[in-house]
Structure 1
Amino acid sequence: MDFAQRLPGRYRILFGAAWDASQSIERAPAMAPDLAVLGMGAFGILEQALTDCVAAGRSTSSDPATDAAALWVGLHGFAQLQVAASLFPWPAGLQESIIERLALLTRD
């Protein structure tokens, strides 16, 4: 999120649908295994963080992999919309609200 806010043009290039993995696979099928794991390291950190929250009693998630995917999609969508709709009156604290709700975080 910090990257998207600091460098919106670069974020748009990386995640703005300018690149399509399926087209790359069609052109170079040997790249498929590499493309399949592209970004999974970062996603793994998010999934592990949510799993750790469950273990610590801070999340009610019963499926951290799926909930981490929902969180990943939600945050990418939010970041993309902030870049595309910078004039929208974004509510304060919306990013934290998205994280809290999609990660099923609990307040102690």
Structure 2
Amino acid sequence: MRCLPDLRREVPHRYRVAFERHRSSGSGSLEAHSPLTALSGGRAFERLVTTVAALDAANPPLDATVLWVALHGYASLASGVPAFPWPDRQDMLTTLMNRAVPGTQL
């Protein structure tokens, strides 16, 4: 997980292809839900939930979702707004993990 922001910064085109989603006009409703296994990256997210559960998280699906959103948000913002006075990268990632998955201390 810690390499995600680095990937976004070092190879932005590959990151966009792998992680960013763009809806086409025929892609269905925003409210429609699909099983994780039917979604691109669904298996990877299931692994994240399993990993978070192994950390004794109170609500692994919720905590994994918060972590996923936080890491992708940080990766996108850090590369998109490089002039912002970002905290130390390692401190930022450690804090995101510790706050997204309560009870963990990295």
TM-score by length of 1: 0.71
Distance 1:95 1:34 in 2: 26
What is the deviation of 1:70? 0.8
Residue type of the partner of 2:44? A
Q: Please tell me the root mean square deviation across aligned C-alpha atoms, in Å.
A: 2.8
Give the structure 2 partner of residue 97 of structure 1. Answer: 95
Larger Rg belongs to: 1
The alpha-carbon deviation at position 13 of structure 1 amounts to 4.9
Report Cα offsets for 1:2-28 as digits up to 9, x if no partner.
3213212432455455x226x3524xx
Q: What is the total number of aligned residue pairs between the two structures?
A: 95
Q: Which has the higher helix share?
A: 1
What's the counterpart of residue 7 of structure 1?
11
Per-residue deviation, residues 47-106 of structure 1 (Å, max 9, x unmatched)? 11110111xxxxxx3211011011101111111101110121210110111011101133
The 5-angstrom pairing of residues 5-44 of structure 1 reads 5-16=9-20, 19-20=22-23, 23-26=25-28, 36-44=38-46
Q: Distance in 2 between matches of 1:48 and 1:5?
A: 27
Report the AA paired with residue 10 of structure 1.
R
Task: Point out where structure 1 has 5 or more consecutive residues left out of the alignment.
Answer: 27-31, 55-60
Structure 2 gaps, min length 5: 29-33
Identical positions, percent = 31
Cα distance in 1 for partners of 2:7, 2:53 equals 24
Q: Could you tell me how far apart the structure 2 residues matched to 1:43 and 1:34 are?
A: 8
Where has structure 1 moved over 4 Å in runs of 4 or more? 13-17, 32-35
Compared CA separation, residues 33 and 101, structure 1 to 2 (3 A): closer
Asked if residue 88 in structure 1 is aligned to residue 84 in structure 2, the reply is yes
Q: Which residue of 1 aligns with 2:67?
A: 71
Give yes or no for contact 1:4–1:11 (8 Å, CA) kept in 2.
yes
